Amino acid sequence: MNRSALFASAALLCSLALAPAALAQAAKPQAQAAKATPATPTAPAPAAKAKFAPVVKGLASIEIIQGKSTRVGGDIITVLKVKNTSSGAIALLRVDELWYNQKREQVTGDSQKVLKPIQPGEVVDVTMKSPAKPNLYVSQYAFSHVNGKVDAKSVKKFSE
């Protein structure tokens, strides 16, 4: 037998002889830690399934809170808070803002879409950004969705 094979076999025998002692030492702290902690397992709560309502077909109802229109640079910014009060989700809500002058002629406007479905009771912010023009007097909003019309009710505070 040559010396390299002798050293390899000796190393293998030593590692096999010392491995149980090393593993036994590592197991003792775990056993002591298990005794110190209570035996009841604390499993995390299962994740709740997402609740999706079917999409409204036909007339949908919403409540809106209109923010104050402010001039920022060359634009007029208006933020609307929209709450879905329908029993189903509203898909692809479209908001059109039209600005008129004192002669009631349309001067400027903007159109925005909410791409994700708005679930019942959900509140979303819609930011309207219209180009600022001279002689702006009043704005008007039109709402629609992919499957029909929208009945919008302006409120000061959302109902529960």
Q: Are residues 15 and 72 in the same domain?
A: no
The CATH number that applies at residue 105 is 2.60.40.10
% of the chain residues with pLDDT over 70: 72
Q: Are residues 17 and 91 in the same domain?
A: no
Query: Is the residue at 120 inside a domain?
Result: yes
Q: Are residues 99 and 143 in the same domain?
A: yes
Q: Are residues 71 and 21 in the same domain?
A: no
- pLDDT tens by residue, 79-120: 999 999 999 999 999 999 999 999 999 999 999 999 999 999
81 neighbors 123 (Cβ within 8 angstroms): yes
For 146, phi then psi, to 5°, come to: -65, -30
Q: Are residues 74 and 147 in the same domain?
A: yes
Which residue range(s) make up the domain with 19?
1-38
The sign one gets for the Cα dihedral 10, 11, 16, 22 is positive
Query: Is the residue at 107 inside a domain?
Result: yes
Q: How far is CA 144 from CA 86, 93, 98, 152, 157, in A?
A: 14, 6, 14, 10, 22
Confidence class for position 144, pLDDT limits 50, 70, 90: very high
Question: Residue 157: pLDDT above 90?
Answer: yes
User: Residue 149 and residue 146: Cα distance in Å, rounded?
Assistant: 8
Domain count, the chain: 2
Mean of pLDDT over the chain = 83
**Tokens 């007029």 sit on residue:** 76
What would the mean pLDDT of 32-60 be, rounded to a whole number?
70
- Cα-based torsion angle of the residue sequence 84, 90, 94, 96 in order, rounded to the nearest 10 degrees: -30
Q: Is the pTM here over 0.85, yes or no? A: no
Q: Are residues 34 and 68 in the same domain?
A: no
